[in-house]
Structure 1
Amino acid sequence: MAFALVLSFTDCKSSSKRDYFDTSFQCFAEPGWRDNANFKKYIEKAWLPTRLLYAEDNLKIKKSEIVFTGDSLVHLFLPDLIAKEFPGQTVTNRGIGGDMTETLLTRIEEDVLVLRPEKVVIEIGGNDFIQGKCLSLVQNNLISIIQTIHTRNRNIKIFLMAVPPTRVRELNQIVPVFNLFLNQVARSTNNVEYIEVWDKMRKIDSPTLSEEFIRPNGDNLHFNEKGYELWGKKLRPYLKK
């Protein structure tokens, strides 16, 4: 229900506000969305209710060896898929549809670190670029997320998933730049690894999502079960260490 609400609040129709290559583009450096009224509705109707569910669940499970967190691409990594891809491992999903780097930063302690994980998998950034957020702001938020995790425990292993291709041209232009940054951060930071998926999920000769990963409902932002099988294949060697 919460995820459906997220989709009702977000859209990718205003291309000029997210086209980083448009000469008239001005990046957005303020908190929230450009549409502040819808952002408030999203927080009230989707983000906070999902966090309440996570808080209740965290009290029950108390600890999880591995926690996935991030936006709707994580949120849609459903329990049966996770169990299939990571059999015998304790994996908890703390993704929220619509999450941006700034909102993930505000909740990382209560939703993720309270579970005392040994490994944290993060996929985040796409929604920032849907809003046309300033690239430097998104980068700084990501660094702050890593610092917050390692302030709690410097031995936590962090796995930064590449933001995958979509069927939205403007996102496919800027996301590879952000992925290069993620890779650079991983190379220069202890206990941080970068997991590349863009290369395997895009069309061979085009910077867009390959047909084999397209969801059947006309969804331009998310991918199907085959995409999660690829995530599982990529992540398993790291999570088994």
Structure 2
Amino acid sequence: MRVVFLALLWAAGLSVAGADPENLLRDPGFEQVSGGVFARWSTPTYWQGKLSVANEAHGGRRAALLSTTERAGKWLGRVYNPATLAITQGARYRLSIWAKGKGDCVVGCIEYSRKEGKSTYQYVPLDPPVPLSDAWQPITFYYTPRDPLATTVAFYAEVRGEGSQVLLDDAFIGLEPLPGYALTVRPEHTMVPVGATLRFRIEASGPAGRQPAAVSIRRMEGEAPVIEEVALDAAGKGEYLLRIPEGTEPGVVSLSFVLKDAGLAVPHWADVVDGEAYRCFADAAAGVRLEKPAHLLFVGDSLTAFYRGYNYVDKVRGWLQQRFGEDVTVTNAGVGGDYTTRVLARLEKDVLAKKPTHVFVFLGHNDSKLKSTTGYQDAVVPPAVFEQEYREIVQRVRATGARVTVISATSSVYEITKASAEAAAKAGRVHNLFGKPEVMEQFNAIARKVAEENGCGYLDVYEPTRTHPKKASLFTQDGVHINNEGNRLVALEILKYLGKP
């Protein structure tokens, strides 16, 4: 399960200018090639240009060679990374790529938005273009969203001029606000009942002599942005109240807290629920038993990584911090596409080095998916390997003294995943079949066995998702990933589990 989303430069409601920005692009170095074609970069046939793989690179082993072609008297070549990235209004991003060659080079992004129920887009390029030479040089563009309704972008690069071509390598897009600023918003992800008021505590700072005086708060009402401003006192502190009127439809409310002059933004998601759901969570959180201080870490695949900011990990974090304050911290170590082999490869850096007191391992969907190349007979990770690697994961974590809980894989909507596989087969594409019930149950049984034999806890979320009276309402359209409702279910099961002796 590979899902692309923006890994925003924020943690614990904090954004700091000057921190090392994260590159949000997949395969920024043009290294992933299959059959002589880039896996994540493309020049569609309706664009101009010729794209090929080059062995002369700025970094790594490969680069992209982009040449211009002529159309209506205009010479142009364009390449892009089609995986769109979510953006935060008011934030400042750096887009860059290393280039050498002949002609003029441009980097930019395609902004995507929705207006009057329709998807729209516009190109936002670096202006003026940069002349190329025989030496590698970085082409850099600082970007703040132009369209107030833009929600996602895609990175692109161009070469211009008759007979021109460019070598491209080491592309980058990431948050890069002006240095010296910091913005903190508390609480983090919050669950709130309809009819209540959310109170946010804001604290901002800037370079000497440039203390921020106000923070802008942006949220959407339908397709229209609502922008409010909160004045800060001399210490850079302020408060924002968000009222959830009676009659509000339950769901996620997205907000951005922005220091406009710094290009610094902190996103926040509030989960609006009905009174009964709120009471269920409040009761479960009140029953949690944890020795303090505690550091809970969740490692898994895209069911842990997706919807970061308001997924099940964030909901658990919000309730635990409401109950225990800073005595309990929570880390999300999910990575899309992960299975046991990949978790083992990053276990030291992403799990053990964080020194958690409690580790929850939530795997299974990618391990158990069936390969079309074997007629859906073989899983990506053979069951024997799954058991061996899962055992090594929990044993290495337990050796640190941390408590380990194995979480079963969820169920899936097999009617959807089967139909998707059949469509891929009809189109002649190599693919995988997710969520076949008997295979999922086989892998969950192995995970339970490993947990029991190694003194770990075990939390079953397969049965609650399989038997849910409105099962399809828990999943996205692919039938595999859990949506906000599904994330609520998993979060509630975890809170209940933490209340058991």
TM-score normalised per structure 2:
0.33
Contact kept in structure 2, 1:69 and 1:93, CA below 8 Å: yes
Instruction: Tell me the equivalent position of 2:229.
Output: none
Query: Any conservation in 2 of the 1:64–1:115 contact (CA below 8 Å)?
Result: no
Counterpart in the other structure of 2:473: 212
CA distance in 2, matches of 1:119, 1:231: 17
Task: Sort the Cα spacing of 1:129 and 1:41 in 2 relative to 1 into closer, same or farther, 3 A.
Answer: farther
1:159 to 405, 425, 434: 405
Counterpart-to-counterpart distance in 2, 1:118 and 1:238: 16
1:41 to 1:112, Cα distance in 2 relative to 1, 3 A: farther
More helix by share: 1
Q: Which residue of 2 aligns with 1:200?
A: 464
Greater RCO (CA < 8 Å, at least 6 residues apart): 1
1:178 to 419, 443, 459: 443
Query: C-alpha offsets along residues 41-87 of structure 1, whole Å, 9 cap, x if unaligned?
Result: 69x999xxxxxxxxxxxxxxxx9701111110110252334343332
Q: Does 1:228 align with 2:467?
A: no
For residues 37 and 64 of structure 1, the distance between their equivalents in structure 2, rounded to whole angstroms, comes to 45
* Equivalent position of 2:300 in the other structure: 70
Other-structure match for 1:127: 366
Q: CA deviation at 1:203?
A: 4.3
Considering only aligned residues, what root-mean-square deviation do their CA atoms show, in Å?
A: 3.2
Q: Helix, strand or coil for the counterpart of 1:93?
A: strand
Q: Secondary structure at the match of 1:234?
A: helix
Equivalent-residue separation in structure 1 for 2:351 and 2:294 (angstroms): 9
Specify which of 398, 404, 408 is matched with residue 150 of structure 1: 398
* Whole-Å separation in 2 of the counterparts to 1:221 and 1:211: 10
Contact 1:72-1:96 within 8 A present in 2 as well: yes
Give the gaps of 5 or more residues in structure 1: 6-35, 47-62
Q: Distance in 1 between matches of 2:383 and 2:34?
A: 23
SS in 1 for 2:4: helix
Alignment match, 1:139: 387
Partner of 2:4: 4
Q: Distance in 1 between matches of 2:355 and 2:383?
A: 30
Aligned pairs, number: 185
SS at match of 1:90: strand
TM-score (norm 1): 0.66
| 1:90-143 C-alpha deviation (Å, 9 max, x unpaired) | 111010000111010010110111110000111112112225231111111101
- Greater radius of gyration (CA): 2
Overall identity of the aligned pairs, in % = 23
Structure 1 residue 204: deviation in Å? 6.1
Letter in 2 for 1:70: G
1:236 and 1:126 mapped to 2: Cα distance?
23
Which residue is 2:238 aligned to? none
Give distance in 2, aligned partners of 1:70 and 1:204.
Answer: 23
Q: Does the C-alpha gap of structure 1 residues 213 and 37 become closer, same or farther in structure 2, counting only changes over 3 Å?
A: same
Whole-angstrom CA distance in 2 between matches of 1:115 and 1:182: 24
Q: 2:294, 2:487 → 1: CA distance? A: 21
Is it true that 1:100 corresponds to 2:330 in the alignment? no
Cα distance, 1:135–1:97 mapped onto 2, change above 3 Å: same
The whole-number CA distance in structure 1 between the counterparts of 2:396 and 2:402 is 11
**Residue 37 of structure 1: CA displacement?**
4.6
Q: Which has the higher strand share?
A: 2
CA distance in 2, matches of 1:222, 1:127: 11
Are the structure 2 counterparts of residues 84 and 123 from structure 1 closer, same or farther at C-alpha, using a change threshold of 3 Å? closer
